[in-house]
Amino acid sequence: MKDRRKMLALLAVGLPSLAAAGTSESSALAKKSAFKDCPRGITGPTAHRFPQAIVTDQNKEKAWFYEELIHDKIVLVNFTSVRGEKHYPIVANMVKVQNMIGDRLGKDVFIYTISTDPYHDTPESLKELADSHGAKWQFLTGAPEDVKGILQGFGIRGTINGLSWVGNEKTGRWMTKATRQHPLYIAEAVARLSTGKHFKPFLVDMHSV
C-alpha cells in the first residue's frame, strides 16, 4: 500500500502535532476540503473526514478522536444520547455485541458510542447510562462544536440514529449495520473487516449449496 510507508513515518512522530504543516495525505485534497483541515501528525485512509478534536469519555478521560480512537484500529461506532436512548434504545443491543466480541474489546476492537446531544450529555450522565447496561466501551462527549464535527463526518443528523459504523482504519474499509440488527450480524461485520488471526469471512455460513 503506497501510503503505508508514509503512515509509518508519521506514526513515529507520535501524537498529533498541530504545528506540523504539510504532512496531510494530499495537499490538494486538503486545500479544497470544506472540513477543518488542520495539518495533523497522524493520518490515515479516512482522517480527512474527521475534525481534529478532543472528546471526553464517561470516565472523564480525554482523547484526540481520530488520532487516538480511530487511527489504525478496528472500531464499532454508534450514536445515541441519554435522552434519545429513552425513545430509541440501542445500548442493550450493543451490549450483546460486546459479549460476542469478548476479550477483543479494548485490545484490537474498540466500541464507541458518540453522544448526539453534547449540549446535555456529561461524562457523569453517560457513565450512568453505560453502567446501567454493563457497557464496558467508551461513551464520548465533548465540546458541542467538536462533537458536531465528528457527527457530521459520519453523516449523523438529529439526536436519534440507527446506524452503526464498523471500520478497520488499518485497511480503510468501513461499512454500516443497523444498530438494532441482530447482534450476530454486527459481530460478523467486525470479524469480516478484521485482518490477521481474527479475520473470519462470516460467523454463520449463509451461502447456498
Partner 1 sequence: MVKRRKVLKAGALLSVPAIFGGGAANAQLCRPTGMRSLGTEPDSPPVTAYTEPLFIPPKLENIGAAALNPPIDPSRHQRYDEFEAVNVTEQHITEGVWNYHSDLSALTPAQAGAPAGSGSIAWMFSGGEGTGGQPSTPGPTLVARYGEPVFVRRHNDLPSADDVFMPIGYPAISTHLHNAHTASESDGYPMDFAMPGEFWEHHYAMYYARNDSNEGMGSLWYHDHMIDFTATNVYAGLSGMAIFYDEFDSGDETDPNPNAFNLPGNMQFGDDGAGNSLGFDISMILHDVRFTPDGNPTYNVFDTDGHLGDLITVNRKVQPFMNVKRRKYRLRIYDGGPSRFYELGFYKTSDRDTPISFDIIANDGNLLEEPFRGATSVIVGPANRNDVIIDFSQFAAGEEIEILNLAEQVNGQGPTGRRLKGNDRMKVLQFRVVEMDPGEVDVSTVPNALRPFPSIPPQAVLDTLIHREWVFDHDMGLWTVNGQFMDPSIVSAAPKQGTAEVWTFRNAGSSWAHPCHVHFEECQILEWNGKKPTGVLKARKDVMTLGPNDVVKVFYRFDDFVGRYVIHCHNNVHEDNAMMLRWDITPG
User: Vertex 68, ends 66 and 73: CA angle to 5°?
Assistant: 80
Contact residue for partner 1 among 9, 13, 18, 178 (CB under 8 A): 178
- Locate 14 and state its grid cell: 507520535
Contact residue for partner 1 among 46, 73, 100, 203 (CB under 8 A): 46
Least Cβ distance, residue 171 to partner 1 (angstroms) = 5
- Of 4, 40, 42, residue with least CA distance to 22: 40
Contact residue for partner 1 among 66, 137, 139, 154 (CB under 8 A): 154
Q: With binding defined as CB under 8 A, does residue 143 bind partner 1? A: no
Q: With binding defined as CB under 8 A, does residue 17 bind partner 1? A: no
- Locate 172 and state its grid cell: 480503510
Give backbone dihedrals phi and psi of 58, rounded to 5 degrees, phi first: -70, -15
Least Cβ distance, residue 195 to partner 1 (angstroms) = 5
Q: With binding defined as CB under 8 A, does residue 75 bind partner 1? A: no
Q: How far apart are CA 61 and CA 59, in angstroms?
A: 5
Least Cβ distance, residue 47 to partner 1 (angstroms) = 12
Q: How many C-beta neighbours within 10 Å does residue 110 have?
A: 19
Nearer to partner 1, 62 or 182 (CB): 182
